[in-house]
């Protein structure tokens, strides 16, 4: 009972802290936190696919980019509110996922990864030359429509929390059981009556939606977008990096991984040349020595085992 109360109090304090934070902290720190929420959102979406269903996607940038461009185009041309634009971004990313699902699910393992990478690279090249979306120059969003920076902080915080909640929720349903079954052993899942194509499709759509919404909000926050950076494979790699460091196939992993990566980036900000090298070495060390990631390792230890519980959080 007491334990429960303490937990609720701690959670309350955390929420209060997160709400108050942008009013106390300096603009740069708020921006870092905004980036943290952004990575948590992407990481949760990717982890759903890679961590639970075992589908390693290298196409994060594709769905992120579709979300970003959809939001920008609807704000510019249709004069929609950027929130609606970002939601539409998620929907369009989902629609794109639905179209490519049939061919891409014919691949598995490394071929699925390469297939999704090709998809996002193809899209980048296409966007560079498509006049309708401003080709290589990209798009600039009307500044007067942009809300204050603090609002983006809250919005992305909401997306990160929402994505995390969604993952927890899915894991508690039949869909989540089927998803984990596929990630464990696809052949065996079929043998146990799981329609693996449909289950993977649902997860692929959900993951694409989350990624698209994050892309839409980020586009609006930046004010201008161009295909080189928006469809950059960097989004994909950072996301995967974050999840693997934090703990693939766990709910807390993407969060811890994002905190770790952002904090590390900040720590090494003055040594720009070493930043990537050190991150790379760390990744190799983590894969070599704690392949389950930070949380994957921690939850096996005594104080955290209860917290992780049985639903693979």
Partner 1 sequence: MSSLHESRNGALLELDHITRRFGAVTAVNDVSLSIEEGQTMGVMGPNGSGKTTLLNLIMGVYPLDEGEVRFAGARISGLRTDEVSRGGIGRTYQIPQPFLKMTVLENLVVGDLYGGNHRSLKRARQRATAILDRVGLGNRTETEARKLGLLDLKRLELARVLSLRPRLLLLDEIAAGLVESEVAELRSLILELKASGQTMLVIEHILSFIFSVSDRIAVLNFGQKVVEGAPGEIAKNPMVHEIYLGTEKSGGDAARMAEKASGPQEGEAEPLLVLKGVNSGYGEFQVLFDVSLHIPKGEIVALIGVNGAGKTTLIRTITRQLPLRSGEVFFKGESIGGVRPFDVAGLGIAQCIEGRKLFPELTVEENLEIGAYCRRARQTRQTTIRDVFELFPALADRRWQIVSTLSGGEQQMVAIGRALMARPELIVFDELSLGLAPIIIDTLYEAIKKINGQGVTVLLVEQNVHRSLEVADRAYIIERGRIALSGTAEELVRNDHVKEAYFGI
Return residues touching partner 1 (CB under 8 A): 172-174, 177-178, 180-181, 183-185, 187-196, 249, 310, 312
Q: 180 vs 218, which CB is nearer to partner 1?
A: 180
Closest distance between partner 1 and the C-beta of residue 201, in Å? 14
Closest distance between partner 1 and the C-beta of residue 98, in Å? 20
At which residue do the structure tokens 């392949």 appear? Answer: 291
Closest distance between partner 1 and the C-beta of residue 176, in Å? 9
Q: 204 vs 260, which CB is nearer to partner 1?
A: 204
Closest distance between partner 1 and the C-beta of residue 183, in Å? 8
Q: 29 vs 173, which CB is nearer to partner 1?
A: 173
Closest distance between partner 1 and the C-beta of residue 199, in Å? 9
Q: 79 vs 172, which CB is nearer to partner 1?
A: 172
Q: 193 vs 303, which CB is nearer to partner 1?
A: 193
Q: 33 vs 203, which CB is nearer to partner 1?
A: 203
43: exposed, middle or buried (C-beta count within 10 Å: 0-12, 13-18, 19+)?
Answer: buried
Closest distance between partner 1 and the C-beta of residue 48, in Å? 16
């Amino acid at each position: 009972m007491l334990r429960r109360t303490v937990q609720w109090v701690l959670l309350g304090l955390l929420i209060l802290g997160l709400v108050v934070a942008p009013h106390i902290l300096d603009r740069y720190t708020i921006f870092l936190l905004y980036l943290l929420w952004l990575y948590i959102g992407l990481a949760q979406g990717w982890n759903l696919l890679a961590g639970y269903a075992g589908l390693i996607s290298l196409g994060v940038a594709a769905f992120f980019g579709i979300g970003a461009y959809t939001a920008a185009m609807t704000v510019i041309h249709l004069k929609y509110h950027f929130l609606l634009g970002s939601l539409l971004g998620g929907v369009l990313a989902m629609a794109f996922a639905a179209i490519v699902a049939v061919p891409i699910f014919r691949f598995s393992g490394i071929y699925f990864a390469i297939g999704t990478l090709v998809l996002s690279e193809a899209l980048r090249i296409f966007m560079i030359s498509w006049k309708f979306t401003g080709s290589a120059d990209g798009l600039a969003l009307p500044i007067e429509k942009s809300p204050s920076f603090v609002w983006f902080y809250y919005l992305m915080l909401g997306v990160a929390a929402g994505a995390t909640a969604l993952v927890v929720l899915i894991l508690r349903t039949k869909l989540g059981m089927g998803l984990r079954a596929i990630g464990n052993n696809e052949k065996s899942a079929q043998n146990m009556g799981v329609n693996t194509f449909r289950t993977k499709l649902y997860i692929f759509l959900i993951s694409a939606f989350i990624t698209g919404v994050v892309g839409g909000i980020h586009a609006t926050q930046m004010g201008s977008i161009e295909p080189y950076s928006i469809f950059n494979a960097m989004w994909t790699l950072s996301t995967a990096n974050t999840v693997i460091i934090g703990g693939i196939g766990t709910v807390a992993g993407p969060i811890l991984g994002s905190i770790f990566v952002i904090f590390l980036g900040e720590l090494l900000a003055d040594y720009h040349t070493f930043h990537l090298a050190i991150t790379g070495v760390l990744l190799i060390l983590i894969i070599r020595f704690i392949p389950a990631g930070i949380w994957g390792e921690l939850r096996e230890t005594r104080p955290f085992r209860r917290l992780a519980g049985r639903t693979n959080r």
